[in-house]
Amino acid sequence: MENINSKVSFIVPIFNVASYLEAALDSLIYQTYDNFEVIMVDDGSTDISGFIAKSFSATDSRFKYYRTENKGQSHARNIGLTKATGKFIAFFDPDDSLEKNFLEKLVLQMNENIMIVSYLFPSAKLGKCNRKITVDDFFSKMFSGTIGTVVWNKLFRKEILKNVKFPEGQVHEEINFYRQLLSVVHDYQILIINDNKEYNYRVDRPGNTTSTFDPKQIIGAKDAQKLVGDLRKSGKKKSIPVVQLNTLIFLKIYLQRSIDNDYKEDAKNMFNSLYLETDKLKCFLIDPFMTVSVVKFKLGLEK
């Protein structure tokens, strides 16, 4: 196959993950597909993460170490994109680990017409087979949780990321990242692999964006609202209610978790505005339980 010997660039942002980093990087070494480089970007760690990363670069030429001042995960990923020399790009979080066939399965599906290959999200149910999908389906499956809006379970052709950057200084930056891809990826250039066991995702590390509440997460909801407008302009109608329902659920949880912060009133206004423009019947057909929970929450806000 055309891509069987093509180089893959793993981009690994690192910040104070000494307890997990060695095992994470070891899982890259043992990949059955070995034509890759690992761009390790140390985002100003204050523990021994840098020492661990440099020990890998000293013994394996595929591992490349860079250090920057602490500016966040997006900044580190953007540096990685500028350093990457591979034909394909994979993103890897330094507290996770990979099964040995993770990369090989992705590369084998990346033929000349495919721009993105994705595994299912680890908690998603298996389907029937691998299949190519439309851009509309891609956004539906991301926001429904089938493949997730994360970047670490996907392989990207580098050429489509040429003008794409992660927004710096915010959390849930992936939504903005995917908004930028909307104009450069076309129907059936995306393939879903019917497998959810190749990436081992750690959900319980203190300080990660899953386990930590950050008021600035509201920016991700704003990006989702902008994405709805983008999808509407490009005629991607199927995914719009999926994105809207996902965002309403996020805002509901955000408002339930936040006490008083500078963003709470903004979040409430966003929820009310999005609720009014969302087709609740379409949302109910997508996920009855979640739609009912959103409606009940809305009624509670009005009391």
* 248, two tokens: 């309403």
* pLDDT greater than 60 at residue 212: no
The helix/strand/coil state of 162 is: coil
**Quick check: 182 and 231 in contact, CB under 8 A?**
yes
For 156, list phi and psi in degrees, rounded to 5.
Answer: -115, 140
Residue 1 lies in a domain: no
* Residue 94 shares a structural domain with residue 242: no
* pLDDT greater than 80 at residue 195: yes
Residue 123 lies in a domain: yes
Q: How do strand 116-119 and strand 190-193 relate by DSSP bridges?
A: parallel
Residue 4's pLDDT band (boundaries 50, 70, 90)?
low
* Residue 265 shares a structural domain with residue 186: no
* Residue 154 shares a structural domain with residue 245: no
* pLDDT greater than 70 at residue 1: no
What is the predicted pLDDT for the residue at 64? 98
* Average of per-residue pLDDT across 153-165: 97
Domains in the chain: how many in total? 2
Quote the mean pLDDT of the chain: 93
In a 10 Å sphere around its CB, with 0-12 CB exposed, 13-18 middle and 19+ buried, how is residue 300 labelled?
exposed
How far apart, in whole angstroms, are the C-alpha atoms of residue 102 and residue 292? 38
Taking residue 37's Cβ as centre, other Cβ atoms within 10 Å add up to 19
* Residue 27 shares a structural domain with residue 164: yes
How far apart, in whole angstroms, are the C-alpha atoms of residue 148 and residue 238? 16
* Residue 183 shares a structural domain with residue 223: no
* pLDDT greater than 90 at residue 264: no
- Write the DSSP string, 186-216: -TT-EEEES---SEE-----TTSTTTS--GG
* Residue 82 shares a structural domain with residue 112: yes
How far apart, in whole angstroms, are the C-alpha atoms of residue 100 and residue 33? 8
* Residue 174 shares a structural domain with residue 77: yes
Residue 83 lies in a domain: yes
Residue 286 lies in a domain: yes
Residue 159 lies in a domain: yes
**Residue 179 belongs to domain with CATH number:** 3.90.550.10
Please report how the helices 264-277 and 288-302 are oriented relative to each other, as an axis angle in degrees rounded to 10: 120
* Residue 231 shares a structural domain with residue 84: no
H helix runs in the chain, sequence order? 18-29, 49-59, 73-83, 102-109, 135-143, 174-181, 218-233, 240-257, 264-277, 280-286, 288-302
Angle at the Cα of 284 from the Cα atoms of 278 and 286, rounded to 5 degrees = 95
* Residue 36 shares a structural domain with residue 155: yes
The DSSP secondary-structure symbol of 159 reads G
* Residue 57 shares a structural domain with residue 131: yes
* Average of per-residue pLDDT across 272-281: 96
* Residue 36 shares a structural domain with residue 177: yes
Residue 17 lies in a domain: yes
What is the predicted pLDDT for the residue at 263? 81
Least Cα distance to 64 among 41, 46, 39, 87 occurs for: 39
* 122, two tokens: 């680890």
What is the predicted pLDDT for the residue at 144? 96
Residue 210 lies in a domain: no
For 133, list phi and psi in degrees, rounded to 5.
Answer: -135, 165
Least Cα distance to 255 among 280, 241, 243, 272 occurs for: 272
Give the residue from 150, 170, 197 where a domain finishes.
197
**Quick check: 83 and 150 in contact, CB under 8 A?**
no
Give the residue from 168, 197, 226 where a domain finishes.
197
Containing structural domain, residue 285: 215-302
Least Cα distance to 187 among 224, 147, 235, 127 occurs for: 235
Give the residue from 142, 168, 197 where a domain finishes.
197
Residue 93 lies in a domain: yes
Residue 228's pLDDT band (boundaries 50, 70, 90)?
very high
**Model confidence pLDDT, tens digit, residues 91-125:** 999 999 999 999 999 999 999 899 999 999 999 99
Q: Which amino acid is at 141?
A: K
* Residue 101 shares a structural domain with residue 30: yes
